[in-house]
């Protein structure tokens, strides 16, 4: 029996991954830049056991669904093939953040699973190889392997598409005040949305702008130039949402003009963030494929931003999760009894 445990953080993209050149291998159309999120962790223990006849996945101590288990098994098969073994495993995994809160648990989940399973199989793999393997589980998971601020080099094929750290977590204490306005499951998954991106007439404009977006965002991050950084990330999130909202497709037997991941409260917070800036608060936003609002500010303004959100929310039942930059995926001393 061999066992290993790992922790990984979910990540928030400042320059987004939206659209794939190879959906089977999760090869993106463009590089993306992200930050690992301190409060959004997945802890995973993998125990390979020759006596086990099938993979058994426990999510927060409860047996996982057949769909979730199948995704884990598919991923473990990639590692088993590499190690030349066929034993099944017990996988115990838990998240420190609620499901549907706007943090990709698939990113932290596949990063932690990859690192724990590789160690349990006695595979010594480089960070690059771990990132490549995590990418196959879910694209953005490759960015949860390296630490701090990360760039996913899009590459062109399996062996050259992986993420690297561009600055450690200590480089810049900016904060993500995430405002969860709804925890309802989104109607269209990220994977479904990626496949529709090319339907938008604005897709090519977004890609034409991308080299400049990447260069200016990376530079502002490395220079800790918050104002330029804020402007870049806010425009970039809206560029992605412009593509989403204009990706026409058929669903439930009818034509739809695009994907709308926002809710009225998301729009309310977009207006609020712009007003707070006029009032002198340095805060900018980014949004992923969901209604959660990510308000980004320098750490010294964290309390003011939280207070502004609390005052605005009144009785609307929002919840707030605060994230600072976090390290990459790491092995842990085993968390469970052998
Ligand atoms: C909007 O990594 O969830 O969060 O590779 O199909 O699993 P799959 O997609 P996923 O897509 C993330 C999309 C995004 C932007 C981003 O994180 O860069």
3-state secondary structure 178-204: EEECCCCCCCCCHHHHHHHHHHCCCHH
pLDDT at 316: 87
Q: Beta strands 174-180 and 162-167: pairing type?
A: unpaired
pLDDT at 249: 95
| Alpha carbon nearest to ligand 1 atom 7, residue | 138
Would you say the CB of residue 106 lies under 6 angstroms from ligand 1? yes
Would you say the CB of residue 26 lies under 6 angstroms from ligand 1? yes
pLDDT at 335: 65
Atom of ligand 1 nearest to the CA of 137: 7
pLDDT at 338: 41
pLDDT at 242: 98
Rounded distance from Cα 140 to ligand 1 centre (Å): 5
Pocket mutation for ligand 1, best pick of 9, 23, 104 (most atoms within 8 Å of C-beta): 104
In this prediction, the residues of the chain whose per-residue pLDDT falls under 50 are 337-338
pLDDT at 337: 45
First to last CA, the chain: 9
Atom of ligand 1 nearest to the CA of 104: 3
Backbone angles phi, psi at 154, to 5 degrees: -55, -45
E strands, 82-183, are 88-95, 149-153, 162-167, 174-180
> What pTM, to 2 d.p., does this model score?
0.96
Judge contact between 290 and 172, C-beta under 8 A: no
Atom of ligand 1 nearest to the CA of 11: 17
Measured torsion, CA atoms of residues 323, 111, 13, 39, in degrees rounded to the nearest 10: -10
| Alpha carbon nearest to ligand 1 atom 5, residue | 139
Nearest to 243 by CA among 200, 209, 195: 200
Cβ count within 10 A of residue 270: 17
Atom of ligand 1 nearest to the CA of 139: 5
Would you say the CB of residue 140 lies under 6 angstroms from ligand 1? yes
């Amino acid at each position: 029996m061999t066992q290993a445990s790992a922790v990984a953080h979910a990540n928030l993209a400042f320059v987004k991954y939206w659209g794939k050149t190879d959906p089977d291998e999760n090869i993106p159309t463009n590089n993306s830049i992200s930050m690992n999120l301190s409060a959004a962790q997945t802890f995973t223990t993998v125990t390979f056991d020759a006596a086990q006849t099938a993979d058994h996945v426990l999510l927060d101590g409860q047996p996982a669904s057949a769909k979730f288990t199948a995704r884990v098994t598919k991923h473990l098969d990639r590692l088993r093939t590499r190690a030349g073994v066929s034993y099944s495993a017990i996988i115990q995994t838990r998240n420190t953040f609620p499901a549907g809160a706007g943090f990709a648990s698939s990113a932290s989940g596949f990063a932690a699973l990859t690192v724990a399973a590789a160690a349990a199989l006695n595979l010594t793999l480089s960070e690059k190889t771990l990132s490549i393997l995590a990418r196959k589980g879910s694209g953005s998971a490759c960015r949860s392997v390296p630490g701090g601020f990360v760039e996913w080099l899009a590459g062109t094929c399996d062996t050259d598409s992986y993420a690297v750290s561009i600055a450690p977590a200590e480089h810049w204490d900016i904060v993500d005040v995430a405002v969860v306005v709804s925890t309802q499951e989104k109607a269209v998954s990220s994977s479904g949305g990626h496949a529709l991106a090319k339907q938008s007439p604005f897709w090519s404009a977004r890609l034409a702008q991308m080299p400049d977006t990447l260069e200016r965002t990376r530079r502002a991050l490395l220079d800790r130039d918050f104002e330029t950084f804020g402007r870049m990330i806010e425009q970039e999130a809206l560029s992605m949402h412009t593509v989403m909202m204009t990706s026409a497709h058929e669903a439930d037997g009818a034509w739809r003009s695009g994907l709308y991941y926002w809710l009225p409260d998301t729009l309310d917070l977009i207006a609020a963030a712009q007003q707070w800036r006029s009032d002198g608060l340095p805060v900018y936003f980014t949004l992923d494929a969901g209604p959660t609002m990510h308000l980004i500010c320098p750490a010294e303004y964290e309390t003011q931003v939280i207070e502004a959100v609390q005052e605005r929310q009144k009785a609307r039942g929002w919840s707030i999760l605060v994230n600072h930059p976090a390290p990459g995926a790491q092995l842990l001393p085993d968390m469970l009894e052998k």
